[in-house]
C-alpha cells in the first residue's frame, strides 16, 4: 500500500487455532485495502470505499495477487505491528486460503527494530510472481498459493518479494539475490551474499545496482539463462551514486575536475541513468558542467522529478537510499523535466513527492494536497499527511478543512474524493 506509517492502526485480540494450509482456488477482480473498524479490528474496503470484508482481524495488509495477509490474535505494542498472534492469507470473500500459522519477525533480530517491522512484513507477507515470504518462527521461507514450501534455507534472516524472477534475501550478515532455482542452503545464489542493503533491480533495463560491503555501489546486468533462471554479470563499478535506481534513474554526485570542491559543489546532486550518463543537472560526465545541479531530488515519475533548491548548507543528509525524502529544512521544492533538465514547476512547495498513478503529494503552509502532471490540483491543501496513490487510493490524514474529522486517517480516490474515514461510524 505504501503507507509511510502504520502506527496509527489500533489492534485487538482474537485467537483462532488452525492448521497451516486451507483449501480453495483463487479468483479475484481487484485488490482490496485494509481499514480499521470501530471495534479496533481490521477489514477491507474496495476502491469505492465500500466494506467488502467486515473488521475481524487484529491486523491486515493490502491484497496482492488476490490474497491479503491478516493477523489473528495479535496485540499492539507501542503502536507497531503485532509481535504475537499468527499470520495467514484470505481471499476476497474473507475465506482463509492459507490458514494462520506464521509469525511476525522478532523485533530484536537485525535488520529489524520495532519501527521497521512494517517494512519487513510489507515486503514479505505479500504474494508476488506466485510466491510469498513468510516467517515460520525461526527463519523465512517462501511458499506458493497452495502453501507448498518452495524455498527453505534455515540461514535466511530476511526475505523480500520476488521481482523480475529474483528476490532479495538476507543471510550470513549480508544481502544477496536468489532466483527460483535456489531451494536450500547448499544452492548458489544468483548474486553472492555480500551487500549492505537490499539489491535494486530496474526491470526496464535489467540492470541491478547494489551497495557492496566494500562501501561502493556496483552494478550487474541480469541475463536470462532459461525459464526462471538467471545469471548476473558484473559491469564497471558505479561510483558517485547516492541512491538506488527508480524507474531507471538514481541520484548521483557529480565528480568535478576542479579541486578542491567548494561547499556548494559538495552538496549538488544530479540524476544519472543506468548507463552512467547524467540526464538532469549536468551536461555530461565528461565536461563536468553542472549548471542545473540541485540540492536534492525525490522520486522520479511521469517524466518529472521533485527537486530542492536554495537549501542551507548543512541541511542535507545523504543516505544509501534517500529517494522520496522531503524533510529537509530550508529551500523550496519544484519539479524538473528529466529529459531537458529545465524546471517545469518553479520551487514554491514546502514539500514535494514524486508522481505515482498520475498524481504527486505537494505541501504548502504545512498542509498537503495532490497535483497532476499539468499542475492542476485535484484537492486543496487540506491534509496533515499524504501518501502516494496505490491501486487507485491514497492514504491521508485529514486537516482543518475537515473539522469534524480533524486528525483522522482516510482514503482518497483519484477524483480527489474522500471515500473512507476512520471513526466511530466504521
134-185: per-residue pLDDT in tens?
999 999 999 999 999 999 999 998 888 998 888 999 898 899 999 888 988 8
Rounded-to-10 torsion of CA 411, 372, 360, 211: 130
* Distance in angstroms (rounded) separating the CA atoms of residues 267 and 277: 19
State phi, psi for 176 to the nearest 5 degrees: -150, 180
What's the domain count of the chain? 1
| pLDDT for residue 14 is more than 80 | no
Assigned domain for 220 exists: no
Interacting residues of 314 by C-beta distance below 8 A, sequence separation 6+? none
Structure confidence at residue 396 as a pLDDT band (50, 70, 90): very high
Neighbours of 224 (CB within 10 A): 13
The secondary element (H helix, E strand) that includes residue 264 is helix 263-266
Whether the CB-CB separation of 85 and 46 falls below 8 Å is answered with no
Q: Which CA distances in Å does 320 have to 48, 146, 176, 307? A: 38, 37, 16, 18
pLDDT of 98: 96
| pLDDT for residue 257 is more than 60 | no
Q: Please state whether 276 falls in left (phi above 0), alpha (psi between -120 and 50) or beta.
A: left
pLDDT of 83: 81
Assigned domain for 159 exists: no
Q: Which residue has the higher pLDDT, 269 or 40?
A: 40
Whether the CB-CB separation of 211 and 243 falls below 8 Å is answered with no
Across 229-238, 247-256, 376-385, the highest mean pLDDT is recorded for 376-385
127-131, 252-256, 330-334, 372-376: the lowest-pLDDT one: 252-256
Nearest to 35 by CA among 64, 72, 65, 6: 6
Whether the CB-CB separation of 48 and 419 falls below 8 Å is answered with yes
Classify the C-alpha dihedral 267-272-277-283 as positive or negative.
negative
Structure confidence at residue 15 as a pLDDT band (50, 70, 90): very low
Assigned domain for 282 exists: no
| pLDDT for residue 2 is more than 60 | no
Assigned domain for 62 exists: yes
Assigned domain for 370 exists: no
The secondary element (H helix, E strand) that includes residue 124 is helix 117-124
Average pLDDT over residues 218-228: 82
Nearest to 8 by CA among 412, 398, 404, 402: 398
pLDDT of 186: 83
* Distance in angstroms (rounded) separating the CA atoms of residues 394 and 32: 13
Structure confidence at residue 13 as a pLDDT band (50, 70, 90): very low
Classify the C-alpha dihedral 237-240-246-247 as positive or negative.
negative
CA 239 to chain centre: 24
Average pLDDT over residues 318-336: 58
Assigned domain for 281 exists: no
Across 112-116, 220-224, 346-350, 419-423, the highest mean pLDDT is recorded for 346-350
Nearest to 89 by CA among 120, 65, 117: 65
228-242, 317-331, 389-403: the lowest-pLDDT one: 317-331
User: Residue 81's domain spans which residues?
Assistant: 1-153
CA 45 to chain centre: 21
Assigned domain for 181 exists: no
Whether the CB-CB separation of 84 and 91 falls below 8 Å is answered with no
pLDDT of 296: 72
pLDDT of 20: 45
Q: Which three cell numbers stand for residue 144?
A: 506458493
Structure confidence at residue 10 as a pLDDT band (50, 70, 90): very low
6-15, 68-77, 214-223: the lowest-pLDDT one: 6-15
| pLDDT for residue 370 is more than 70 | yes
Assigned domain for 68 exists: yes
Interacting residues of 210 by C-beta distance below 8 A, sequence separation 6+? 175, 191, 195, 197, 199, 200, 217, 218, 219, 220
Instruction: Tell me the whole-structure pTM to 2 decimals.
Output: 0.70
| pLDDT for residue 268 is more than 90 | no
91-100, 114-123, 143-152, 405-414: the lowest-pLDDT one: 114-123
Whether the CB-CB separation of 209 and 199 falls below 8 Å is answered with yes
* Mean pLDDT score across all residues of the chain: 76
* Distance in angstroms (rounded) separating the CA atoms of residues 228 and 425: 48
pLDDT of 256: 47
Amino acid at each position: 500500500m505504501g503507507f509511510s506509517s502504520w502506527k496509527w492502526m489500533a489492534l485487538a485480540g482474537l485467537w483462532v487455532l488452525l492448521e497451516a494450509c486451507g483449501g480453495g482456488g483463487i479468483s479475484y477482480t481487484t485488490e482490496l485495502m485494509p481499514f480499521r473498524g470501530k471495534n479496533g479490528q481490521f477489514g477491507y474496503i474496495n476502491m469505492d470505499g465500500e466494506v467488502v470484508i467486515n473488521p475481524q482481524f487484529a491486523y491486515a495488509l493490502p491484497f496482492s495477487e488476490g490474497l491479503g495477509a491478516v493477523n489473528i490474535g495479535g496485540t499492539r505494542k507501542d503502536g507497531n505491528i503485532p509481535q504475537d498472534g499468527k499470520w495467514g492469507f484470505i481471499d476476497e470473500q474473507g475465506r482463509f486460503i492459507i490458514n494462520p500459522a506464521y509469525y511476525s519477525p522478532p523485533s530484536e533480530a537485525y535488520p529489524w527494530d520495532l519501527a521497521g517491522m512494517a517494512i519487513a512484513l510489507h515486503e514479505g507477507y505479500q504474494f508476488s510472481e506466485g510466491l510469498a515470504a513468510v516467517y515460520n518462527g525461526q527463519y523465512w521461507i517462501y511458499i506458493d498459493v497452495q502453501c507448498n514450501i518452495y524455498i527453505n534455507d534455515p540461514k535466511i534472516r530476511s526475505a523480500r518479494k520476488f521481482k523480475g524472477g529474483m528476490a532479495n534475501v538476507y543471510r550470513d550478515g549480508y544481502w544477496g539475490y536468489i532466483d527460483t532455482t535456489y531451494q536450500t542452503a547448499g544452492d548458489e545464489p544468483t548474486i553472492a551474499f555480500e551487500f549492505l542493503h537490499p539489491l535494486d533491480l530496474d526491470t526496464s533495463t535489467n540492470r541491478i545496482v547494489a551497495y557492496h560491503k566494500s562501501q561502493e555501489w556496483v552494478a550487474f546486468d541480469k541475463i536470462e539463462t532459461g525459464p526462471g533462471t538467471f545469471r548476473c554479470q558484473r559491469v564497471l563499478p558505479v561510483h558517485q551514486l547516492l541512491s538506488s535506481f527508480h524507474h531507471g534513474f538514481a541520484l548521483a554526485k557529480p565528480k568535478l575536475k576542479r579541486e578542491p570542491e567548494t561547499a556548494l559543489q559538495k552538496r549538488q546532486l544530479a540524476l544519472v541513468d543506468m548507463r552512467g550518463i547524467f540526464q538532469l543537472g549536468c551536461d555530461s560526465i565528461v565536461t563536468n558542467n553542472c549548471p542545473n545541479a540541485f540540492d536534492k531530488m525525490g522520486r522520479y515519475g511521469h517524466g518529472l522529478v521533485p527537486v530542492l533548491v536554495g537549501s542551507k548548507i548543512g541541511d542535507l543528509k545523504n543516505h544509501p537510499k534517500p529517494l522520496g525524502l522531503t524533510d529537509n529544512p530550508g529551500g523550496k521544492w519544484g519539479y524538473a523535466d528529466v529529459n531537458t533538465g529545465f524546471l517545469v514547476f518553479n520551487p514554491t512547495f514546502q514539500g514535494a513527492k514524486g508522481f505515482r498513478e498520475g498524481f504527486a503529494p505537494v505541501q504548502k503552509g504545512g498542509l498537503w494536497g495532490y497535483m497532476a502532471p499539468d499542475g492542476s490540483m485535484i484537492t486543496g491543501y487540506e491534509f496533515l499527511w499524504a501518501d502516494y496513490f496505490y491501486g487507485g487510493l491514497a492514504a491521508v490524514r485529514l486537516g482543518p478543512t475537515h473539522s469534524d474529522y480533524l486528525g483522522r486517517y482516510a482514503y482518497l480516490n483519484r477524483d480527489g474524493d474522500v471515500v473512507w474515514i476512520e471513526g466511530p461510524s466504521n
